[in-house]
Structure formats: structure tokens, C-alpha cells
Amino acid sequence: MRIFVKAKPNAKKEKVEMIDSKTKNWSDYVTKHSFALDLEEGVFAWDDPRKIAESLKKSAEKSLNRKGTAFQSAMSMLNFYINRAGKNLKPERKRILEQAKTELRKLFKRVK
């Protein structure tokens, strides 16, 4: 069964998104069906922030399906993972992923 969800009424363009009713969260649907970045298996479980950032950079630069820059795509994917994990993300894991953001900025020469 498929459910069609309309965007908010005050949106500029009325968009209709198709979500499989078996998936309870839109984030789960996006994770399983998105092909924007082809990530390495278990990349967000690694303990080395630099290695995580390098993998995301490589995936983003290789992708032909991104809408923004490679940096935007890689950072967006990292933020998506952090935000979706929410309270279930252990402090140590969150610290590593936040460090990966810093490493990603360095790799793309976006450090202020």
C-alpha cells in the first residue's frame, strides 16, 4: 500500500511525495531509497573522523545525482545522519561525527 502526502498548504508549489506505508519514518525511506550518494558500508560507525570525512568527500565528488556542491552534499549527509539518530546517538559517537564535520571542512578548504 502506498500513501500520498501533500506538502504544507502554504508551500509555493504543491508537491506530492510518495511514501511506502511500511516505513514509519520518512528518514528510513530516504535512507533506503535515496541514491544521491553511494556511501561505503558502515561509514558512520567508524571511529576515525578523518576517515569518515574522506569517505564522504569521495562519495560526494563521485556522485552525479547531487543538486549542490560536493561539500554541501557530503555535509548534508553527515548532518542527516546526526539529526535522525537524535537522542539515540551516544555522546562519544556524536563527538566523533562532529569532529568529522570539522575534518570535512578542512578537506574542502572551508575552514574559517
60: nearest Cα among 111, 104, 102, 103: 104
Could you say which DSSP state residue 1 is in?
Answer: -
Grid cell of 20 as nine digits:
511506502
Half-sphere exposure of 38 (CA within 13 A, CB side): 5
Whether residue 22 is predicted with pLDDT greater than 50 in this model: the reply is: yes
Max CA separation in the chain (angstroms): 49
pLDDT tens by residue, 52-97 = 999 999 999 998 888 889 999 999 999 988 998 888 899 999 999 9
Interatomic CA distance for residues 42 and 52, integer angstroms: 10
Grid cell of 60 as nine digits:
560526494
Task: Assign 14 a pLDDT band (cuts: 50, 70, 90).
Answer: very low
